[in-house]
Structure formats: C-alpha cells, structure tokens
Structure 1
Amino acid sequence: MQKNDPGVGPSKPRLFGILGPGLITGASDDDPSGIATYSQAGAQFGFGLTWTLLFSYPLMSVVQEISARIGRTTGQGIAGNMRRYYPNWLLQSVVVLLLIANTINIGADLGAMGDALKLIIGGPHLAYVILFGVVSVVLQVLLEYSRYVSVLKWLTLSLFAYFGTVLVVHVPWGDVARGLFIPKLTANAGFWTSVVAILGTTISPYLFFWQASQEVEDQKAKPERKPLKEAPEQAENAIERIRLDTYVGMAFSNLVALAIMITAGATLHASGITDIESTSQAAAALKPVAGAFAFAIFALGVIGTGLLAIPVLAGSAGYALGEARKWPTGLDRKPLEAKAFYVTIAVATLLGACLNFTPVNPIKALYWSAVVNGVVAVPVMAVMMMMTARRDIMGKATVPLVMRTVGWAATAVMAVAALVMIAQFFWE
C-alpha cells in the first residue's frame, strides 16, 4: 500500500485495523441459525460434508467482494443502486422478501441465545430473548458508529470459542482430511438437503446488502475517501483493502463452520447422536460426551455470535428498506436524523423476538427463512453481476471478467439450491 494514500489511510496499519466490513460480515454469517445447520451436518454425516466449506469459500468470497466493490465504487448500497437502475417491482419484491427472511432469522437467533443462557445459568428463556433483543437495538441506536463497529469487531472474537471446542475433544484428523479433500457424494436425500442448507447459510442476501452499505458508511466516515467512480485514483489501494478484508473475513467464517462440524462429528456423530435441531440441543448433547467445558464454550459462543449477527440482520433490513424508500440511512447518523431507518431496525428485532411467543416451530420457521433467502439471493446476485459490468454504474472500476464469471457460477449454484429447497417443500 502506498504511503498516505487517501483511499486507505495510514501506511502499514495493523491487520485488525484494516479489517472491517468483510470481517464483520464473515463472522456474522456464523449466527446461531448457521451454528445449528453446521452442528446438524456434523452430527448426521460426521466429517462427510466438510468439503462443502472448501467448495463454497471462493464463491462466497467473490460475491461478497463484488458487494463491497459496488458500495465503495458507487457510494450507494445495493438497494440504492437497484432503485436508480432497475425496475421498481424487482426492488420492492426483493426488499419485502429480505425483510421477511431477516425477521424470521432474528427470531430464531434470539431464541437460540435465550436457550443458551438458560442452559448456562437457568432462568426464564423468554426474558432472555427480550433482553438480547433490547441490547441489540440499543447498541445500534445509541453508540457512535466508530464505537459500534469496534464492538462488532471485538464480538468476532467470540467465534474463537469454537476453535476451543476442537482443542478439548478427541479428533481423528485423518478422517477429517479425507472428508475435507475427498468428497463422497451419495444419493441420500438428507445428504443433499444438508448440502443445500450449508450453501444457503454461507451465501445469504442480507450479507450482500450489509457489506455494500458498510463500505458506504466507512467511506463517508473518512472525508478523504470518495466513491471510486468519482476518484478512480483511489481504486487500486481501496480494492486491495476490500479484497484482503473480504477474503480474511470469509476464511474466518468457514474455518469457524469447519470447527463446529468437526466438533459435532467427533463427539455427537461418533456417539450415535445424529439428529440435532437447535444450538441448545447441540450444546446439551456435548456435555455428557465432551464434558462441561466444551458445553460451556459452545453455549457462550452462541450468545456471542448472536450479539454480532442480530445487528447485521436488522441493520441490513434497515439499509435495504431505507435505500428503497429514499430515507436517510446510516448508523453514522443520529436517531433523529434517520428516524425511519432506526425504527425499521427496532421493529425487525421486535417482530423477531415476538416469534418466540407464538406456537410457530422455530425449525420450520428457519426452513421457510432458508427458502426465502434462496429465492431472494438468486435475482439479487444476478443483478449484482450485471451492475458490475456497467460503466454507467461502476465508471472505470468495473469488475474483471474472471470475477464476474465466478460470480455467475455462484449464482447458478444458488439457483439450483433454491430449486431443490422449493421442490423439497412441495414434495413434503
């Protein structure tokens, strides 16, 4: 990086200082709902699905880098660009479906966090759901943007809990290596359901909206930075920083997912426990198999990841709706300067919390959320790929053909995954 480059900041900053939107996005991908998915995959198939994380890594990394580049280049989030350049019906459909999926996900995550705290200290599960919901909203509304981002970055450290669980259980590393590098495909319906679930968990539309909008926030927070469309001289170093941030963040995300699958495979699957439906069930099942320490680490990790993921889910909903409606948006704004944006965040979190007071089965709700996410992801990814090739949107900072090709491949994979999920729903 060049010294005193206005697009980057001080020369040779520490890695943790460079990392931001990409790291937070990657870490928030391992939310409690994702942890349940990875735990189930490990419990049911041992190490047999770990290869999916190697497969998904380049796809999710490229898609997230494209999301970040759209925000950094145009100075607007994905919804803002869709409003300006694409049909209104497409924008409104995507935003509505995103709000539904995010709200369901928030509800499931809050429920998992409440269950985890109840497992550790006892007490009323629903009271903890409300507590975590309130804390998440307060963090976003009352903290200054720079402090809020710092809180989120430090919360990513909670994911190291899952590396800790790997260290305290017996792992047959030879079997792990075979599962990771030598895929064994079967015609088993449950096998492919788990593959689709993992892909749907790692590549989610709320992550696209969040990272693009966070790049816009970061750019506005530093007056020397300009949208790359207006300041192409900043492009080289800005894109280098985005790529490092994104690829490290996505690698961290998938390594955590791998640790969870290895832990579940080495303990639950090895002990004959193959049906895990929630994070609390996974944590409780670990206790007699791997000991109280592994149980406590796993449960605390659920709480930490939830505190990280819920603001991202609610925030991405606020960005998408706000940009679509031309509202003032941004966590750098005071609540009175962006009332509708913050109300959206609060309402999404409140509605998610309320789902825990209904007879709705959280596992079924998560399945619906995955289906909706799959449906939303495909058109959003397709629009993103088209955006990045248009000079009227990206200026001179259009995305290279190789990257767009990988992005289109990821879009095709997600389209197949979405069709499989929808077919399974009607088949059942």
Structure 2
Amino acid sequence: MAKDKSGYIIAAAFIGPGTVTTASLAGANFGFHLVWALLFSIFATIVLQDMAARLGVASGQGLASAMKNMAYKPWLKNAFIVLIVSAIGIGNAAYESGNLTGAAIGLDAFISIGIGPWASILGTIAIVLLWSGSYKWIETVLVYLVFIMAGVFLVTLLVAKPDIAVMFSQLLSPRLDADAITTVLALIGTTIVPYNLFLHASLVAKSSRGQNKQDAVVACRNQSAKAISMGGLITLIVMATAMMAFFNQAATMDASNMGEQLKPVLGDKAQWFFALGLFAAGLTSAITAPLAAAYAVTGALGLSDDMQSKSFKAVWFIIIVVGVSVAALGFKPLPAILFAQATNALLLPIIAIFLLVVMNKSTALGEFRNTWKSNLAGFVVVGTVIGLGLYKLIGVFS
C-alpha cells in the first residue's frame, strides 16, 4: 500500500483553478474572515474521504456499486442509480466547465484567442490523454507545477511581511451574511468535492487488492490526512496573498489582474506565472473530474470500470464535451468558476448522506464500518453543509 498515491491524487484533484480563483476572491473580498469555512472544509474532507477509502479497501468496490448493492428493493436500487448518474453528471459537468475555464484564462494570458477556443483545445487534450491511458505521467508533471506555484505564493507572502495580528483578528471574527454566503459555499465546494468520494473509493479498491486490509486502511488514512491538509495549506496561502494585495485596497480583483498578488516576488512576470499555475491546475482537474464520473456512472449502471472499456470512455467523453460547451458559451469566467464550486457544495449533502448510510448498513464492511465517532463527525459535516445551503436558498427567495 505504500506505493499507493490516491491521497495525493485526491488533493491534486481539488487544487484546481476553482480553488485558486475562489481562495483569491475570498482573500481579496473578505480577508481572513472566511478562513473558518476553509478549516471546516479540510476537516470535512478528511472525514468523508476516510469513509470512502475504508469502503474501497473493505468491500473492493467503488462508492457507486456499494450504494446500488445496498438497496434490496428494485425501486430503491433504481433510485440510487438515477441519483448517482444525475448528481455526479451534473456536478462534474459544472466542475469540468470551471476547470476548463480556469485553464483557458491561464493560456489566454499568453496567447489571446479567447476562452472558448482555448477551452476546446484543452478539452481535446484531456480526451487524448484519457483515451491513451497515459494521463498519469502528465498529471504528475502538472501536480508538480501546482505545488511550485504554491511555493511562489508562500515566498510572496513572506516577502510581503503579512500583519499576523490583523489576520488572527479577522480569523476570530468570522463572517456569514448574504454577501459572503456564495463565497463560503464556493470554498466548501472547491475543497469537499463530491466526485472525489467516488474516485477515492475506486482507486483504493483497485490498489489494495491482495493486501492486509487493516494495514491498507491505516496507510491510506495517514496519507490522505497529510495530503488533504497540505492542499488546505496551499489554499490558505493563496487566500493570504490575495488579502495582502487587494483587501481594503483601491484595486478590485478580476480575471485580468489576479496575478497582481505575486508582484512582490515576480514583478512584471507575476501575471504570466499565475496564468501558468491556472493552466496546470485546470488541466489536472479537467482529467480527474471526468475520470471520477466514469467510475461513478459505470459502477451505478453495473458496467465495466476498466479504463479501456467503451462504456467507461463514453462517460468521461460526454463530461468533457459538456464542460467544453458550457465554457465556450462565453460566461464571465470568475462567476462561472464560483458558481461551479457553489453548485458542488449544494450537491454534497446528497452524496454524503448516502455515504453515511452505506458505511453503517453495508454487510461487506465488517470491522471497517463507521464507529460512533465517525458518525458524529459525519453528521456534523452534513448538518453544517445543509444549513449553509438552506441559508443560501432562503436568501435567494427572500
């Protein structure tokens, strides 16, 4: 199990352009007043991904298959299938459009041909990589680029000499109001990614076969906690640099000046480096989102989850095409990315509730079923996200 890198793949999957953009907007518009939402998101991600990983190790199945197999009545099984296909399909289509839009913004800073054409080119690249099966090597390179970007953000933050007292004061003064709720949901949606639950369970189920289950669970739990915490730290650093550059300043952040936060270190090259980071983060996530959807949908429909099977390829192909189409329609890029993250936060409770049910009811789990501590943590996560979603809906209709 030591060679399994599923935890880092999950962390890389949520450090997409949505994370970079949402964290930058949160820091620029609200300073550190919304860090509470990020801290909650990291806690929630560790809790839910641990459940998904235990399910994969113990049952040898993905989350979609486990949910479907748990239903003993035909109508309930069909309801699970419809839920999984529709929820993950909608969620991943939204995510894919955000991923491609973010990466397209990055490339358009180098060669200006428009968001739509770049999204089409990137979608084609993702299709070619997934079709060939060689995406893992490319993904590794892109993940390194994302972490290099995070390093530059950290150096920038240190050079800018942040006012720790102000940051701490804002951290202790959390905000949750009509102006902040969309950004709060976006921070949650860009970190606790519903499709990652399906992706993690499937990856671990495949990589842990033939190994001691207890050892596999322990190793996976430790790796996931470290990787997800590292991803959260990157998000916090991006938020902090944006706060230093834009919060309570005359300038307003938009798609054209997001890289300004890196100027203390990179000078005139800041925008270009930021663009390269968005491209790397976007293409990495543009590969993992359709991959996760393929695992979820094929598992729900009882089809082959072999990467070379026609059904598996058909699912990720549709997700990419829909993502490209939405990205090419000309929506304003930053609201589109923010909307994709908020949409996922609203979809999350549905998936999380059924994950909790599976982790308590599935006979295949044995000793790896949820303990009362896991259930308590899960209920806190689900209850909080549902409460925030209802607050958002009430605000929309009031």
Is TM (by shorter chain) over 0.5? yes
What amino acid sits opposite 1:298 in the alignment?
A: F
- Aligned partner of 1:350 among 321, 331, 342: 321
Query: Shift of the alpha carbon at 1:284?
Result: 6.1
> What does the per-residue CA deviation read over 1:113-149, in whole Å, with 9 as the maximum and x for residues that have no partner?
11211213444543322221111122222125xxx43
- Secondary structure at 1:171's aligned position in 2? coil
Instruction: Give the 3 Å change call, closer, same or farther, for CA 314–37 of structure 1 in structure 2.
Output: same
Counting only pairs closer than 5 Å after superposition, residues 122-137 of structure 1 correspond to structure 2 as: 122-137=112-127
1:81 aligns with 2:66: yes
- Secondary structure at 2:84's aligned position in 1? helix
Give structure 2 stretches of 5+ with no counterpart: none
Moved over 4 A (4+): 284-290, 359-368
Counterpart of 2:41 in structure 1 is 56
Counterpart of 2:23 in structure 1 is 38
Counterpart of 2:363 in structure 1 is 392
Counterpart of 1:99 in structure 2 is 89
Instruction: Give the 3 Å change call, closer, same or farther, for CA 343–100 of structure 1 in structure 2.
Output: same
- Secondary structure at 1:271's aligned position in 2? coil
1:415 aligns with 2:386: yes
CA contact (8 A) 2:18 2:341 kept: no
CA distance in 1, matches of 2:366, 2:39: 33
1:282 aligns with 2:258: yes
What amino acid sits opposite 2:274 in the alignment?
A: F
CA contact (8 A) 1:116 1:303 kept: yes
CA contact (8 A) 1:38 1:198 kept: yes
Counterpart of 1:217 in structure 2 is 206
CA distance in 2, matches of 1:45, 1:105: 24
Q: So what's the TM-score if we normalise by structure 2?
A: 0.89
CA distance in 2, matches of 1:369, 1:426: 20
CA distance in 2, matches of 1:75, 1:113: 35
Counterpart of 1:3 in structure 2 is none
CA distance in 2, matches of 1:363, 1:124: 15
Counting only pairs closer than 5 Å after superposition, residues 182-197 of structure 1 correspond to structure 2 as: 182-186=171-175, 188-197=177-186
CA contact (8 A) 1:166 1:262 kept: no
CA distance in 2, matches of 1:289, 1:150: 30
1:262 aligns with 2:244: no
> What does the per-residue CA deviation read over 1:386-427, in whole Å, with 9 as the maximum and x for residues that have no partner?
221235131232132212211121111111122123233334
CA contact (8 A) 1:56 1:199 kept: yes
1:207 aligns with 2:207: no
CA contact (8 A) 1:116 1:299 kept: yes
CA distance in 1, matches of 2:173, 2:234: 22
CA distance in 2, matches of 1:288, 1:245: 34
CA distance in 2, matches of 1:192, 1:376: 16
Query: Shift of the alpha carbon at 1:56?
Result: 2.6
Between 1:342-351 and 1:384-393, the stretch displaced more is 384-393
> What does the per-residue CA deviation read over 1:328-367, in whole Å, with 9 as the maximum and x for residues that have no partner?
0133xx3xxx101111111211121112332445555445
> What does the per-residue CA deviation read over 1:198-235, in whole Å, with 9 as the maximum and x for residues that have no partner?
12221121111111111123235xxx34xxxxxxxx12
Instruction: Give the 3 Å change call, closer, same or farther, for CA 157–424 of structure 1 in structure 2.
Output: farther
1:307 aligns with 2:292: no
> What does the per-residue CA deviation read over 1:140-189, in whole Å, with 9 as the maximum and x for residues that have no partner?
22125xxx434434432222202312313513141465157x42034642
Q: So what's the TM-score if we normalise by structure 1?
A: 0.83
CA contact (8 A) 1:83 1:324 kept: yes
How many residue pairs get matched? 390
What amino acid sits opposite 2:85 in the alignment?
A: V
CA contact (8 A) 2:193 2:348 kept: yes
Counterpart of 1:167 in structure 2 is 155
> What does the per-residue CA deviation read over 1:67-91, in whole Å, with 9 as the maximum and x for residues that have no partner?
1111121111111111111322133
Instruction: Give the 3 Å change call, closer, same or farther, for CA 53–372 of structure 1 in structure 2.
Output: closer
Counterpart of 1:5 in structure 2 is none
CA contact (8 A) 1:43 1:273 kept: no
Counting only pairs closer than 5 Å after superposition, residues 105-116 of structure 1 correspond to structure 2 as: 105-116=95-106
Counterpart of 2:349 in structure 1 is 378
CA distance in 1, matches of 2:87, 2:334: 19
CA distance in 2, matches of 1:315, 1:382: 23
Between 1:357-366 and 1:395-404, the stretch displaced more is 357-366
